[in-house]
Amino acid sequence: MASKKVKVVKEESTVSLGPQVAEGEFVFGVAHIFASFNDTFVHVTDLSRKETISRVTGGMKVKADRDGSSPDVATLAALDVVTRCREIAINALHSALRALDVTSVPTDSTRRKSARRGRRLGRAYIFYLRLCLRM
């Protein structure tokens, strides 16, 4: 006589990707946003800024290179970052914005000295906004 097979029920364990926190606690990340003339980069790290949580560019969202810097594509990239942060249970972000500030150079006319004309050319400014963006 053949022995009966017994079905073993396995318990499913839920895998938590983020830190273990209590209900209602803030878990912070740092959103590094770089806006250039050709592309927009959104990069989220932990507070030590050593571990990357999510990195999305505007060029990853479109097929044509010329569309990578548009505001609509930057919004799509930000939405992808937010959904990834929610999966990992990050619910607050500090934001660090880096943008290029370029004063246009006048051509075919009398030019003023660069100090009187405005800011220097091609300098990248970094603004650290200590805001809590609650998601």
pLDDT per position as a tens digit, 91-100? 888 888 887 7
Q: Interior CA angle at 132 toward 131 and 135, to 5°?
A: 135
Q: Residue 121 pLDDT more than 50?
A: no
**Residues listed for the chain:** 135
Return the DSSP state at 24. T
Do residues 17 and 87 touch, judged by C-beta distance below 8 A? yes
Query: What's the rounded Cα separation, in Å, for the pair 60 and 17?
Result: 24
Task: Report CA 27 to chain centroid distance, whole Å.
Answer: 16
- Helix (H) or strand (E) segment spanning residue 11: none
Mean pLDDT of 110-125: 54
pTM for the predicted model, two decimal places: 0.65
